[in-house]
Structure 1
Amino acid sequence: MILIADSGSTKTDWRVMDASGVQEQVITAGINPQYLESSQIYTIFEGELLPNLKEKNPTAIYYYGAGCSSSEPNLRVEQALQKAFPNSTAHIDHDLLAAARALCGHQPGIACILGTGSNSCLYDGKNIIDNVPSLGFLIGDEGSGAYLGKMLVRAYLYRELPPELATSLKNTYNLTKESVLRSVYGSDMPSTYLATFAKFCYDKRKNPVIHAMIYESFSDFFERHVCKYEGFTELPVNFVGSIAYHFSDTLQQVAKKFGVRIGTIITSPSEGLILYHQELLAKIGEK
């Protein structure tokens, strides 16, 4: 029995499974070890995960997470997992590998994440062979919910929105300069806060000003990420994440502008990961 985690900054999808399929699913808060210490991560496990696992003890944990791109943040997750599951072996990988496995399977392609944050890679069917770096919400994350939220809030505070949009935004979020600065510079998960404004953009997506923001956000992503990969006009470009899924019409428009062929767009890599690991379990005969 194994435990698979698909973790983003907004939520974490946990699946307990064996070779016969999924036995349990638990949703907890998002985890990003770039911003959270090991003790804070364990608090999430202790309060939201362990009580819902009904004393199931996985032999191995496969954790794919946002922010798990280097040894230091990975160690934070590993320490929290070891404390929560002392008899399990933990494997920590970047959520980008999860995206590539879920989107491309065993075929080459370009895999992209457009959710709270953004990332991309060139995948050869087995491994990630190229990755334009994701620089986080402060100087990167083009195309993401946080990037779009930053564009919207900045336009509001700089008085660049039409009056009807500005009034609607202010009333919806009780928005002030002080509340924005406090939430961005004084919270543990600023990107998650900024990404909450993506819902407003979705609700107002037919407004020309909002549509232009969405279009610009995706254009920035294609220009700075997708177009840097060799063969980007020949290979299928696949997307996972709520932003890609809910704004797929505009995403298709931008892809056409750059001569890109979009393959698959899904909200979550979980189902693809389940299939991937189920096949592995079947091969080793674990029950």
Structure 2
Amino acid sequence: MKILIADSGFTKTDWRVIDENGDIAQAKTEGINPYYQSEEEILREIQNLHNQVPEKIDSIYYYGTGCSSAHNRDKISNLLKRYYPHAKIDVNHDLLAAARSLCGDQPGIACIIGTGTNSCNYDGHTIVENIPSLGWAVADEGGGTYLGKTMLTDYYREDMPQHLREIFKAEFELTKDGFLNKMYQEPMPGRFLASFAKFIGKHISDPYMYQLVANGFHIFLSKNVLKYKNCQTVPIHFTGSVAYFFGDILRTVAQEKGLHIKHITQQPIAGLTLFHQ
């Protein structure tokens, strides 16, 4: 019996195959989000997966961003069926992936801070409470899209320190018109915004960049984690590239708010693999 597990975010999808001997293989594709991508675009990624994992699969456990609605879960399930017609397919939201990966069978608060952000209160079996994420266009505080959007706004309005503006201009040569075209004419603007997290990380020792990230985390914790009544009594865990690479800042900000962070992982796929194994 072969099991296929997927953890799909806005930017990338991590896949793991577990065979009957417990051996694990892996694959990678671009991120999948049914809110922003057509069936044809999603099918291209599933075809890419099938090129890497052509064998017969018995069960698929797919966890993905944008899969909180039944309509989107059905959409992903039906598209996977085209390439894996014999598989039993279970599609869930990426927040459940974070909870299962980080908390296992123990209560806790599980958070995602990657390209986007989300959080939940998990009782060890199911998600019992969720502060709505609302997506990159209006929320996702602290995530890659939020940090990129904030930094670019400061750049074009000349609120970014001059020495950093000069470095940014030389590296990206991104005119205002070019930026607006990327945001309003080209596909996946959220992914474009999040790509600037690498530039922020490269210059994180600069006080401006440090404070930019710290402010994002302050807002995320205030608008999400602190609203869970048990946030002072259960472990708080994080997964996602932004949480992972800026983990020291995240722990400092959390400590200032009286919160204890336990685990911070770069991605949930390793914990998910253990959970399903």
Same fold flag (TM > 0.5): yes
State the superposition RMSD in angstroms. 1.1
Amino acid at match of 1:32: N
TM superposition score normalised by structure 1 = 0.93
Aligned to 1:257: 256
Deviates more, 1:129-138 or 1:228-237: 228-237
Q: Confirm or deny that 1:99 pairs with 2:98.
A: yes
Separation in 2, partners of 1:21, 1:260: 38
The equivalent of 2:162 in structure 1 is: 163
Aligned to 2:52: 52
> Which deviates more from structure 2 when the two are superposed, residues 172-181 or residues 225-234?
172-181
Decide whether the 8 Å contact of 1:99 with 1:112 is kept in 2.
yes
Alpha-carbon separation, structure 2, partners of 1:116 and 1:196? 9
Bigger Cα displacement from structure 2, 13-22 vs 189-198? 13-22
TM-score (norm 2): 0.97
Structure 1 residue 181 displacement after superposition: 1.4
Correspondence for 2:110: 111
CA distance in 2, matches of 1:22, 1:265: 26
Give SS of 2:136's match: helix
1:226 is aligned to 225
Instruction: Give the whole-Å Cα distance in 1 for the aligned partners of 2:214 and 2:11.
Output: 23
CA distance in 1, matches of 2:81, 2:28: 19
3-state DSSP of counterpart to 1:136: coil
Which stretches of structure 1, 4 residues or more, deviate above 6 A after TM superposition?
none
Corresponding position of 1:206: 205
Measured in 1, the distance between the counterparts of 2:174 and 2:71 equals: 36
Q: Are 2:274 and 1:275 aligned?
A: yes
Question: How many residues align structurally?
Answer: 276
Find the counterpart in structure 1 of residue 37 from structure 2.
36
Name the aligned partner's letter for residue 96 of structure 1.
Answer: L
Tell me if structure 2 keeps the 8 A contact 1:237–1:261.
Answer: yes
In the other structure, the counterpart of 1:124 is 123
- 1:7 — aligned with what? 8
- SS of the residue corresponding to residue 232 of structure 2 reads coil
Distance 2:23 2:203 in 1: 38
Residue by residue over 1:112-131, the C-alpha shift from the partner in whole angstroms, topping out at 9 and shown as x without a partner, is: 00000000000001110000
Aligned counterparts, 1:145-184, within 5 A: 145-184=144-183
Aligned to 1:16: 17
Q: CA deviation at 1:76?
A: 2.3
Q: Is the 8 A contact 1:38 1:79 kept in 2?
A: no
Judging changes above 3 Å, is the alpha-carbon distance between structure 1 residues 258 and 19 closer, same or farther for their aligned structure 2 residues?
Answer: farther
CA distance in 1, matches of 2:137, 2:59: 35
**Whole-angstrom distance in 2 between the partners of 1:267 and 1:23:** 19
The answer to whether the 8 A contact 1:6-1:270 is kept is yes
Residue equivalent to 1:80: 79
Q: Distance in 2 between matches of 1:20 and 1:218?
A: 42
Question: What is the CA distance between 1:96 and its match in structure 2?
Answer: 0.4
**1:163 positional shift:** 1.3
Supply the AA of the counterpart residue of 1:85: Y
Gapped runs of 5+ residues in structure 2? none
Deviation at 1:19, TM superposition (A): 4.7
1:26 aligns with 2:27: yes
**Contact map agreement 1:42 1:84 (CA 8 A) in 2:** no
Task: Name whichever of 112-121 and 32-41 sits farther off.
Answer: 32-41
State the one-letter code of the partner of 1:149.
G
Deviations 1:191-246 (A, max 9, x none): 11111110111111111111111110000100100001011112111000110010
Q: 1:235 to 1:162 in 2, by over 3 A?
A: same
Which amino acid counterpart does residue 120 of structure 2 have in structure 1? C
Deviation of 1:143 after TM superposition, in Å, equals 1.1
